[in-house]
Amino acid sequence: MLQALTRDLNLDAATVQIRLANEANAISTDSKLRGTLGDRFAGSWLSGDGSVLNVGVTDSAAAALAKAAGAAPRLVGRSLTQLKAIAADLDAKATTAPKNVPGWYVDVRTNSVVVLYRGDIEAAKAWAGGAPRFEPSAEQPTTLMNIIGGNAYFINNTFRCSVGFSVLGGFITAGHCGSIGSTTTQPNGVFAGSSFPGNDYAWVQTGPGDTPRPWVNTYPGFQLAGRAIEAPVGTSVCRSGSTTGWHCGTIQAREATVVYSQGTVTGMIRTNVCAEPGDSGGSLVAGNGAQGVTSGGSGNCTVGGTTYFQPVNEILDTYGLWMPK
């Protein structure tokens, strides 16, 4: 922490140590005053160098208590409870917020609730009403995620599948999980390629804030899987999926054909690893080598079953993708 704060706050080590000590005292004082002042408490904030704890209060008696505790009292018009109520009103109608409003927050420094907006302030005002304060912003927030094999993701905010393997720019998964143009959340992305039936593969392009990792979730824990290999029949393999987690078995055949109700898929890996709905798209590995993404099969993880996997190398070659190292 000391090294990171020295780097990111552009301070020397001695100054960081002093700041950390001041902040520890401030946290303790803040906790005590919240309980003592109750509804007269209006939030607290540190000075720029972290040396002074400012405390918003709504009357002179509360100011005296804050000063006695070693804080700098600041008389304000609204309590923290009132500020939170304004923010809660906005939260309650969040789904109707105009697209140029990227967020809002309680700003204890100015004793207000701030609504951020891009471009047209009138649209923001019409939605939020008169209580908040409005600030222009260039923010366009996106989620920041590690993309890891076996984790869940959601298609069109409705269906769940599992990440196969991360690739540079996104991840690969099963084609039956979504068609080209389908959107995903956790992480946010869009199906840039999809093939099913015939094949059962797809790749999802994600945003720049999502980081592809050469890992597979082993529920719990993680395993490195940063290269695609082709293991022979009889090799022990393990599968990761968001419904049933981590299960293992062996490769029974390659170049298998499976007939689904939607059509035939060829060139598959046949295994005796179990899987269930929602595991689709998830990772199959042999050691630390990526083998395939979960397609479908029969049975379940209570009685066992047969599961088919789309080989990874074909997906990478089709779309010109690379796995992260």
The token pair at 122 is 């009138």
Flag the least confident range among 106-120, 142-156, 178-192, 283-297: 142-156
Is 176 annotated as catalytic?
yes
What is the CATH number assigned to the segment(s) 2-75? 3.30.300.50
- Asked if residue 187 lies in contact with residue 298, where contact means CB atoms within 8 angstroms, the answer is no
Distances (CA, A) of 123 to 96, 97, 126, 137, 145: 11, 9, 5, 14, 31
DSSP string, 191-207: EEEEE-SBS-EEEEEE-
CATH 2.40.10.10 placement within the chain: 142-325
Catalytic residue, candidates 44, 280, 283, 295: 280
Give the residue ranges of DSSP H helices in 177-249: none
What's the predicted TM-score (pTM) here?
0.64
CATH 3.30.300.50 range(s) for the chain read 2-75, 80-136
Report which residue type is found at 74.
Answer: R
Whether residue 142 is predicted with pLDDT greater than 60 in this model: the reply is: no
Interstrand relation of 152-155 and 183-185 (parallel, antiparallel or unpaired):
antiparallel
pLDDT exceeds cutoff 70 at 69: yes
Q: What is the pLDDT of residue 320?
A: 97
Name which residue leads in pLDDT, 141 or 87: 87
**What is the pLDDT, as a whole number, of residue 281?**
97
Exactly one of 30, 176, 283, 295 is catalytic; name it. Answer: 176
Residue of 200, 240, 279, 295 marked catalytic? 200
Of 289, 315, 317, the closest CA to residue 174 belongs to 315
Rounded to 5°, angle at Cα 317 from 224 and 221: 15
pLDDT band for 324, please (50, 70, 90 cuts).
very high
Q: What does the pLDDT read at residue 278?
A: 96
pLDDT of amino acid 4: 76
Long-range contacts of 23-26 (CB under 8 A, 24+ apart): 23/50, 25/53, 25/70, 26/50, 26/53
Question: Tens digits of per-residue pLDDT, 122-132?
Answer: 999 999 998 89
Beta-strand pair 263-271/227-228:
unpaired
Pick the closest to residue 196 from 284, 305, 315 (CA basis): 315
280 annotated active-site? yes
- Hey, what CATH topology would domain 142-325 get? Thrombin, subunit H (2.40.10)
Give the model's pLDDT for residue 143. Answer: 55
pLDDT at 166 > cutoff 60: yes
Active site residue 261: no
Confidence tier at 2 by pLDDT (50, 70, 90): confident
Amino acid at 196: F
- Could you tell me whether strands 112-117 and 222-224 are parallel, antiparallel, or unpaired per DSSP bridges? unpaired
Segment 97-118, tens digit of pLDDT:
999 998 899 999 999 999 999 9
| pLDDT > 70: percent of the chain | 99
Q: What is residue 282's predicted lDDT score, i.e. its pLDDT? A: 97
Which among 291, 266, 314, 201 has a CA at the least distance from the CA of 191? 201
Domain at 80-136: CATH code: 3.30.300.50
Mean pLDDT, rounded, of the chain: 92
Q: Among 71-85, 157-171, 219-233, whose mean pLDDT is lowest? A: 219-233
DSSP string of 165-199, one letter each residue: EEETTEEEE-GGG--TT-EEETTTEEEEEEE-SBS
Strand partners, 252: none
The yes-or-no verdict on residue 260 having pLDDT over 60 is: yes
Segment 7-62, tens digit of pLDDT: 778 889 999 899 889 999 999 999 999 999 999 999 999 998 889 999 999 999 99
pLDDT at 134 over 90: yes
